[in-house]
């Protein structure tokens, strides 16, 4: 079953562009990595009233994303991301995608 990771955060005021660019860099890094399936940058819907951003990535397994998260480049981008976001708002979620029964 595919493994899905969702990360959400709130950029510091005026730092939305930097956060968006760093998220895009992370998603580009994922492409071509073993086990990677698909990824999306998440932006707050205007009706939500908050400036939340994030990313959603899908992997063949949890081991695949753990291997990615252990790379120097991923850790460097994650560290930069923390400079531009309110760390108290950073949330990580993990899911297994379960197919519907036929």
Contacts of 32 (CB under 8 A, 6+ apart): none
Rounded-to-integer distance, Cα 58 and Cα 80, Å: 22
Predicted confidence (pLDDT) per residue in 52-61, tens digit: 999 999 999 9
Question: Which residue did the predictor score with more confidence, 57 or 45?
Answer: 57
* Domain with residues 3-9+16-96, CATH architecture: 2-Layer Sandwich (3.30)
Average pLDDT, the chain: 93
Residue 89's pLDDT is 92
Q: pTM of the predicted model, to two decimals? A: 0.90
Quick: pLDDT tens for 28-42.
Answer: 999 989 999 999 999
């Amino acid at each position: 079953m595919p493994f899905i990771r969702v990360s959400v955060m709130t950029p510091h005021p005026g730092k939305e562009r930097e956060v968006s660019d760093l998220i895009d860099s992370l998603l580009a890094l994922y492409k071509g990595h073993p086990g990677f399936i698909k990824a999306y940058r998440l932006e707050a819907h205007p009706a939500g009233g908050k400036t939340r951003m994030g990313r959603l990535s899908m992997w063949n397994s949890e081991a695949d994303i753990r291997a990615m998260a252990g790379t120097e480049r991923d850790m460097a981008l994650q560290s930069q991301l923390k400079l531009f976001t309110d760390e108290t708002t950073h949330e990580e979620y993990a899911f297994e995608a379960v197919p519907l029964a036929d």
